[in-house]
Each structure stands twice: as C-alpha cells, then as structure tokens.
Structure 1
Amino acid sequence: MAQHGDPYPVVTVDAVGIVVCHNDQAGGVLARIAVGAELAGIAPTWLVEAHLRHVSGAGERSSAWAAGQIGGRRVKALAGPVVDGEVTWWLVGDSAPAGAAQELARERARAGLLQELTSDLLASMNVERCTAVTVQRAARNLADAAVIVGTGDGRSFPVTRCTAHGPVEQERIALNPGQLPGLAEALLGLPAVSSRWIDPQQVPSWAMPDGFVDDAADVGSVVVVPLPGHGVPVGCLILLRRRQQATFTPGEESFARLFAARAGAALSIARSHALQAHITEVLMHDLLPPDLGRVDGICFSARYRASVAGERVGGDFYDLYPAATPGGETVAVLGDVCGKGLEAAVTAGKMRVALQALLPFAADHTRLLTLLNGVLLSSDRSPFVTLVLATAVREEARVRLRVSSAGHPAPLIVRATGQVEEARTAGTLIGVFADIEFKTAEVALQPGDVCLLFSDGITEARGGPLGNVMFGEDRLRTVLAQCAGMPAEVVTERVQMIVAQWVGEGRHDDMAVLAIGAPHDNRLTTVNESTPRR
C-alpha cells in the first residue's frame, strides 16, 4: 500500500486496474493520477500491461521490474507482492540515485516478508505455533537470533527462541524483566528503546538460544520491540546479532517494529481464540452426559446422538445419581427439553443441576417432580420438559425399579425370555401447568432383564427405504426382542446403531437411550466397577 512517506513515486492499483491510493510524488510522474481513476487512462500501455500480468499471476514467473517511457523520460517500475488483489508499484526515473533500485528491491522483499508472515500466522490459531513461526521468520530475515517473551504472571514468562537455522526452543522460566534494558517497558507496550541505548553485554543467558554465542561478550547488537495486541500487549520481540555482524540501522529497527506489529496482531487473535476455546471446554464439561457403568450391582448404559452433526450436546439429556448410602436407591433420569442446539443443552444442564439439588426428595417421585415443575415455572425463559425418573435398588439377584413419566414415552422392559413390556406409568409434562399428576410404576427386573428409557427422537426418527417413514415403537420393540438376555450396554449400542442406519444421512432430532439392567451374576460390587463421572 502506498505511503506518503515513501521517497519515490508510489501507486497502488487493484485487480481491475483502478487506482486505490498514491503518494504526492506519483503526481509528478503521472500527471492525471487520482484515487478511483483507471490506470489505463493515466499511465502508458507498458505499465498497464505489466500490471495485468502481475495480478494474473504471470508476474510471479517473470521479473518484478518493468520499464518504458513516461513523459519523454525512461522510467522503471518495481511491483510489490499481490495483497488482496492489489499491487503497489514504485516508479524510478533514470535520474534517480544509483542505489534506488537496490533500495526498492529491499522494500519489496520486506513487503513480501510481511505478507508471508501474515499468511503463515493466520493459517493456525495455535499460540505456540504462531510464536514459533514468528521467531523463525525474525531470526532468518531480521537478525542472527530472535527471542519472544510472552506476558507472564509476574514471576514466570513463556520464552521462545531460535537462531537463523537452529531449532525452536520453548519453555516457561522465572526471569526478571529488568535484567535487559527495554524489556520491562516493551512488556507494558511502551515504545521500543533504540538499540544504541542497549549494552549487548547485558543480555541475560536465558535470552540466548543454544549455539548462538559462547557468552554475552560475543553479542554485537540488540533490538527490543513490543508485540502490540488488541488493546493489551502480548509480549516483546528481541533481535540479536553477533559481534562480527553489522549493527542494526534505524531503518532496520523501524521495519522490526512493523514486523512486530503484524506478529502481535496475529498472536493476539490466536490467544483470544485459545481463551474462547478454553472457556467453551470448561462450560461444555458440565453439559456433557456422564459415563455410566455398574453401580451397586446394577448395570447402567446410555448412548446419545445430537441432532446437529458434530455437536456433543443438545436438548436430550440423561444423568445418574448413585445412592448416598448402602442399600439406598440409585436415581436415573432421561429427559427431553423443547428445542435443539446449544440453547436447549444449557436448559438441560440447568435441569440436571436442579435434579441434583432435589435428590433428597427422590424417594417421593411425585414430590420431586412437583418441585422441579415449580423450578421451571419460576423461570421466565425455560421451555417445557418431558422426562422419565427411575429409582433402582438391588435386592439379591433382582433389581427393583420405580419409574415415573412426566409427559415422556413410557420405558420398555425387555425380559430375558424375549418378551417386551411397557412400564405402566404416565404423567404431565413439566414447566407448563401448575397442577400436575403422575403415576409411578413398580418394575422388578430378573437377571438378564433390561429396562430401556428413550427419547422420542428414537421412535420419531424418519428414514427407511422411502426416507420419510418414522421408526416407530413397533420397530423399537422388535429390536429389543432381538436383544433378549443381552447386557445393558449391548442393548443401547444396538438400538442406537439400528436407528442410525434407519435415518442414514437424513435430518433427525436428538436421540438418547438409557438402559437399566439386572446382571446375570450375583455380584453386588466389583473392584473394577465404574462410577458415573460427575
């Protein structure tokens, strides 16, 4: 992009040949130049053709230089790299100083370096990788070695360093920013200190990559520049040169600050992304369903598939609360929140928290569900919920269940003989009416029997040969009859697999199943017995 401070005429032109910007010097070469003007109308044919070659990609295979006549004198034009379809041209007349071509070539190389740096950093949102790429680019193009000191906690700081051709070293160390002049100021985002004011022999050992020099006496020049972020600094960049190398010039220090500004912006974005990912992971942890297994001699298993591909949570939910005392009832619940996606998942998370708080009332299903209904009614934005509440206790070889439905499909019991029964329970959905009623069913599971709780996403799943036929309860009963005598985990896996095959690639609602089984063995506990993750 053209800058007013450039010593030579500079003009930036977009992909279709429109002038985007130019400096004052360009007006002395192209008399009719103006922002928005067509290049073809103000410049000679040779420059227009060179621009078209460059934006089309042909310029990458030929020289970046073009030359011709403008106003009766010979002019050379140097093309910068294509950035967002725009090309910046530096115009040099034959009367320009002898070193103009070399200086412009150097400026072009720097512009290319900044473009490559931006491209590399934006290709990854990983903070460590972005930091490593930055020090590698800086060491190879700006100095003999580079170090990045990130923002720390006041006692320790992340440090990344490397030489021009050496490996990247990353570690977190305790350091005193006051050991190196300009470091403490750079970490605060203050302007860089000129390299002339930094004694190279004051460079601490932690700032020198392995194999760079034997000691600080071999360091010839040091530049310390801040890495500005979005609102707050993200660290600082330290550039090191050996004693036998030329010291940093003011122009090189100025470019180092520009380099650091580009890197700091990308690192700031990466850190923001990492922070958001961490926050999401922490919040998601409490929304994820628990891992189930055998609890107090009772087998529990569940499967879940969200309506949105790739999501891990949704409006369906299940949970398990092991008995607090020996011989007590373990509480299992499977529910369905009206809605889909993350918003429904958040409501499902609130339901699980409320259920856990109401566990002392679990012995009385009606009271617990009535209290839960009151919780939902008192909330302004909570949608209605259907659920099945089950309490289970092991009694010798069998498992005794009490099951209550709140507007939810009644559970199905699969006997070891292959018979499939429906639990005789019914009730009002919660979160809508103040007056609600429930009927609790008593179920006895003999060894090999399984009680399956499921959401309507299972029976209402549409698919099959015609692609729009509901799976239905009859098919579910047939699948369960084929699972007679199978462990709870096999039952849930097979049901989920058959329904997934029925749906295929079609759209579907959240689907959840939870099985409670009486094992064939008589073990009440085992050393390998799993406990639900809370």
Structure 2
Amino acid sequence: MERSHGAPTRGEARAPEVTPDTEPVTPPPVAGPGLLEGLEEGVVVCDRLGVVRAANPAARDLLPGLRVGEVVDVARCEVLARAVRDGGPDGFETVVEHPAGERHLRGRRGPTLDPNPPPPQPQDGDTTWYLRDVTGEHARADTLLAAQERAAFLAEAGRALHGVLHLDRTARRVVALAVPRLAARATLVVRHDDTVTWAAAELGGGRPRVGRLGATDLARVPALAAALAGECAGSPWLAEELAGLTGLEPATGPVRACPVPITGVVDALVLLTDPRSADGETSDDPLTTAEEDLLSSYVARAGTALAAAALHEEQAHLGAVLQESLAAPRLPSTPGIAWGAAYRPARETMRVGGDFYEVVGGRTEDAPAAFLLGDVCGKGIEAAVLSGRVRQSWHALRLLEDRPGRLLTLLNTALLDAVATRDESPRFATMVLGDARPTGDGSVALRLATGGHPPPLILRADGEVEPVAVSGMLVGGIREARFGEAEVVLAPGDTCLLYSDGVVEARGPGDFFGEERLAAVLPRCAGAPAPVLCEQLEQTVVAWLDGHDHDDVAMLAIQAPSSRSVA
C-alpha cells in the first residue's frame, strides 16, 4: 500500500512545520569557557578588580592556585595579578612555581570574551589573558646560548694559543684562559726532555706564574710523575705535592686532574681547582656532559699548542746550534800577519749562508797560517750546510796536504764523492785558499790556489791595486778539474783581499757594483788596518745596494803590518 507523499512512517520524527511567519530556532551555544577546554593555551577572564570570572583547564594547570570567583593569587602569579589590577602591559613573561617544577610562563592580553548566552557574562572592564608554558623554549634557548658560549670560548682559545711557539708563553696562556671560565684556579705541568715547567693562574692573582722543576725535583713527587705518565691522575694528594714543590698556595677546594693528550713531544697535566660550571658558579656537583666536552676540547687545544711550542723550541735550538757551528769564525792572532774579515749573509736573520771563510794559525811557530774563502751554490740553510761540509773537509785534508793546488784537487774529489754517496744533485763551489808565512823582514809570503773564484786583489801601501793572475775550474764540478796556483809577496803595508762574488754582483740602482768599481774604491783604504779596510768596503757595498736584496757577501784581508797599521 502506498503511503501518501510526505507522510511520516512509524518511528520517524515529525519535522516542525515552518511557515512564513515562524523564525528558525538555533540550538543554544555551549558556555564560553567550554569552548576553550581543548586548547593547550591557557585562557583566563578577569574583571577589573582582578577577580577570575573564567579559566580553562590549561590555565588552571599552569596556575594551580587559580580559582574562579577569586582574585588572582599574587603569590602564584604576581605579574598577572599586577597586570590585571593596574592595567599593565599587554604582555609579560615570568617564572612561576609549579608542582612539576619551576616553569616559564608567557602571557598576552586578548580581546574580551563575549559568550552568548551567559554564564559568564562579561562586564565592562573584563580582560582576557592567554597564557603559554614556554619552559621548553627557554631550555632550548639556554642550551643553544650555552653551546654558542662554549664555541666562542674554544674559538678564542684557539686564536690565543695559535702561533705562540714559545713554551713558557704558551703555558701562561693555557692557565690564563682556563680562569675563570673553567675553574677558580688552574695549574699546568709540562715535562719536556729533562725539564718540568709549571704555570699557575687564579682569580685575582694577577699575571700567571711560571717556574721550573728539575729531574731530581720530579723524583720527589711520585704522584705527579705518575700523573704525567698517564697514571693515577685523580690522586687526592697530587695538588698537595705540587703545591709543596712549587711554593703555590695549597688547594682549598676540589681538584680535577686533566691529562693533556699529547704524544711524542711533551707530557702535560692540567689541574683545575674548584671546577666551575658554564655560568661561572662554583659547584660540587659532577660536570655535565656539555661541560666535560668543553673541558676535553680545551685541553686538546692546549695540548696541540704546547706540542707545537715544544717542537718549535727543539727546532730553534737545533738551528741555533747549527748556525753557531756554521757562523763565521773568529780570526786568530798571528805574529807578523794582520787579518780582517767581513760577512753579510743574504738572509741576515739566519746569520749563515753559502759564503764562508776560515783562518787557522800555524801548528808551530814557523809553520804558515792557512786560509780559505769560498762560495757554494745556493742560499740559506742548505748552502750553509754545504759550506760547513767544505770547511770540515778542508780542515781534515790540510793535515795531509799543504800545497794549495793539490789541496784543491783533494777538495774537489771529496765534494764529488759526497754527492755520489748521498744521491744528491751536483753541488759545486768556488774558492780561493792558500797559506801565509812571515819572512822575518816585515813581509808576508803568500801561496794561493783558486777554483772558479774571482782573483784576489793586492792593495799596495801606495794605493796601487794589482789583481793576482791566477784562475781555475769550479770545485765539485768534474773530476778532471784543474786549478791554478800563484805566489805573492806582501811588503809592509800591503794587503791581499779575497772576496766572494756577492761583492761585485751587488746590484744597486740599475747596475752591479762590479770589479772595476771595487778596484777604484780600494785605493781609498790604503794604509788602513785590515779590519778597518773590510769594514769600509762592506759599508760601501751596503750603501750601493740601497736596501735591495743581495747575495751572500764575504771578504778576507791578509796584511803585512806596517808601523802605521794596527795588527
């Protein structure tokens, strides 16, 4: 059976009839605070007297003392109470006590709620506050800030320790940087070779102090020796032993020993008294992971700087010893012969170069004095090493052979054999050598031999300049090299000048100094003592250079003294 169109069946609800004269009915809304129960942000509605008219669950959780119908509890949230009562700023941030711990709370003023219908019904002067827990944000911000501060400290430490290259200054900086960032007091102990260096700094203690401990001192402090060896670094009496040995004030707080990770160069240990947290507050609590990382990173940087400084000092000492062995020697005092010399290396800071000279007095009263002046290829320390090899070979070979020409032949063979043995590229030298013997009448007899070197010049007492007619091949070039010999007699007041090519090849304003200019300058020095002659020539060459780069310069003057000259 069909039912009529639009007629409800059994069980169906009959819809209300709507006529043009009937208004639609809207279901009543949920009460105002009920709309906000699902929000994570707390919402509080207060009247102008500070009475809480409404608060959602999130707000009551943030402020457990909040009560609807009561005035905002000043003890629970003073900032909110003052803002409600006094109409303060539209936003605030504060710290409130919470059963779960201290919480950071941020609030902002919002528009007045207008729930319809009541309750509650806002009145004139009601305000709405939105509250948010920002404890996590603060924690993340604090963590980031602390990480940035640690990174800035390590960067500053890296810059301060970089390139110091002096063990004492590096030790001072290590302890100075550690106070107060890492501890109230820092002590560093470094063992390098047989010497133990200590440095200490403390708050208000002024400039860091540095001292030394010998091997015998270290033997009296077994805990310190063991700690430097990487054992029992946490020994409780370690700081006391060190204080008694160095005269430092005994530690009054907890001491943390931090071995420095260095291998092969130095052993080092950092002692931190009253280790401090990242905010600079002394605490007996164990260091956090971040603080442990900061400490280990700093100690690693300190170790790198200490190792570099120790290694540099070793190399500097080695260089100084090498320079001293290769430096120009003192001239001997030889009866009847006056000596003068001048030496200026191309790299003046090194004090040595490829030019060299050597003078040895006679082994007996009647034996002649031997001399040598030369120039090896190259510059700097490599050339200095080769020149040292030539000089040592000359010292040994002259004990076997006194003829200058034959001695040059032996030196030539020795250089070639050394190159072959060491698998080096060919290294050659130019030189002039010989001996000088007083004749008894005030004259000096010279025997000379040269190999690839500028010929010596004779300056007579009357100012006349004569080159010595002698020449030869490079020393160390080929085994069949030939070398020339000559004999010269110096009358009283005469001088024989040996010089390296750095003199004549000194390049001044657009030109070389040259042999002609040297020969023209020499007569001005006639009658001058040998040392004065060399000094005047050196000053002339330096003035000609006018600050330009130059090769090594070496001069050796052999003079038969006259009554006017000073031996």
Q: Deviations over 1:123-179 (max 9, x none)?
A: 41111101011112223322222111112557x632222322224232222135865
The one-letter code matched in structure 1 to 2:521 is V
| In 2: Cα distance, 1:123 partner to 1:153 partner | 21
Give the Cα separation in 2 of the matches to 1:433 and 1:124.
Answer: 48
Structure 1 unaligned spans of 5+: 1-73, 75-92, 530-534
Match of 1:390 in 2: 434
Cα displacement string for residues 23-78 of structure 1 (whole angstroms, at most 9, x for unaligned residues): xxxxxxxxxxxxxxxxxxxxxxxxxxxxxxxxxxxxxxxxxxxxxxxxxxx9xxxx
- When residues 383 and 101 of structure 1 are mapped into structure 2, their CA distance, relative to the original with a 3 A threshold, is closer
- Contact 2:360 / 2:371 at 8 angstroms: preserved in 1? yes
Residue 364 of structure 1 pairs with residue 403 of structure 2? yes
Structure 1 position 96, deviation (Å):
1.0
Task: Tell me if structure 1 keeps the 8 A contact 2:331–2:339.
Answer: yes
Partner in structure 1 of residue 386 of structure 2: 347
Q: Deviations over 1:82-107 (max 9, x none)?
A: xxxxxxxxxxx924176665555444
Contact 1:298 1:517 in 2 (8 A): yes
Residue by residue over 1:255-280, the C-alpha shift from the partner in whole angstroms, topping out at 9 and shown as x without a partner, is 33332112111111111222222222
Distance change >3 Å, CA 308–CA 120, structure 1 → 2: same
Deviation at 1:362, TM superposition (A): 4.8
Question: Are 2:521 and 1:474 aligned?
Answer: no
Q: Which deviates further from its counterpart, 351-360 or 322-331?
A: 322-331
Q: Match of 2:450, as an amino acid? A: S
The letter of the residue matching 1:355 is W
Post-superposition offset of 1:237: 0.2
Deviations 1:204-249 (A, max 9, x none): 2536876745xx6xx220100111125666301011139x963262
Give the match's secondary structure for 1:96: helix
* Residue number among 461, 468, 483 corresponding to 1:416 in the alignment: 461
Q: Of the candidates 210, 226, 245, which is equivalent to residue 170 of structure 1? A: 210
1:324 aligns with 2:373: no
Match of 2:286 in 1: 249
Which residue of structure 1 aligns with residue 504 of structure 2? 459
Specify which of 248, 253, 270 is matched with residue 237 of structure 1.
Answer: 270
Contact 1:140-1:165 at 8 Å conserved across structures = no
Answering whether residue 556 of structure 2 is matched by residue 519 of structure 1, we say no
Q: How does 1:40-439 map to 2 (within 5 A)?
A: 94-96=134-136, 101-102=141-142, 104-151=144-191, 157-166=196-205, 167-173=207-213, 174-176=217-219, 179-180=222-223, 183-184=224-225, 186-189=227-230, 193=234, 198-199=235-236, 203-204=240-241, 206=243, 212-213=249-250, 219-229=252-262, 234-241=267-274, 246-247=283-284, 249-251=286-288, 252-292=291-331, 294-308=333-347, 310-378=349-417, 379-380=419-420, 381-396=425-440, 397-439=442-484
Residues 301 and 489, structure 1, Cα contact 8 Å, conserved in 2: yes
Q: Distance in 1 between matches of 2:378 and 2:300?
A: 45
Contact kept? 1:404, 1:441, Cα under 8 Å: yes
Matched letter for residue 510 of structure 1: D
Residue identity matched to 2:218? L
The 1:409–1:111 alpha-carbon spacing in structure 2 relative to 1, beyond 3 Å, is: same
User: Contact between 2:323 and 2:350, CA under 8 Å: does it hold in 1?
Assistant: no
Larger radius of gyration: 2
The equivalent of 1:9 in structure 2 is none
Do the aligned partners of 2:332 and 2:359 also contact (CA within 8 Å) in 1? Answer: no
What is the identity, as a one-letter code, of the residue corresponding to 1:478?
A
Deviation at 1:311, TM superposition (A): 4.4
State the superposition RMSD in angstroms. 3.3
Q: Partner letter of residue 513 of structure 2? A: F
Shift of 1:451: 0.8
Equivalent pair of 2:444/2:490 in contact (CA under 8 Å): yes
Residue 499 of structure 1 corresponds to which residue in structure 2? 541
Residue aligned with 1:443, SS: strand
Report the CA distance shift for 1:152/1:446 in structure 2 as closer, same or farther (over 3 A).
Answer: same
Structure 2 residue identity aligned to 1:502: W
Matched position secondary structure for 1:366: helix
For the 8 Å contact 2:239–2:271, the answer to whether it is kept is no
Give the Cα separation in 2 of the matches to 1:201 and 1:472.
Answer: 70
CA displacement at 1:202 relative to structure 2 = 6.7
| CA distance in 2 between partners of 1:374 and 1:123 (Å) | 45
Q: Is the 8 A contact 1:226 1:233 kept in 2?
A: no
Aligned amino acid, residue 358 of structure 2:
D
Determine helix, strand or coil for the equivalent of 1:141: coil
Could you tell me which amino acid in structure 1 is paired with residue 241 of structure 2? P
User: What per-residue deviation string (whole Å, max 9, x for no partner) do you get for residues 267-323 of structure 1?
Assistant: 111112222222222222222221336433422222223345644333322111222
Separation of aligned partners in 1, 2:265 and 2:555: 48
- TM-score (normalizing by structure 2): 0.66
Which residue type is aligned with residue 448 of structure 1? G
1:236 alignment partner AA: L
How far apart in 1 are the matches of 2:284 and 2:336?
76
Q: CA deviation at 1:376?
A: 2.2
Match of 1:462, SS state, is coil
What's the secondary structure of 1:250's corresponding residue?
coil
Paired residue for 2:65?
none
Question: TM-score, normalising length from structure 1?
Answer: 0.70
How many residue pairs end up in the alignment?
420
CA contact (8 A) 2:527 2:564 kept: no
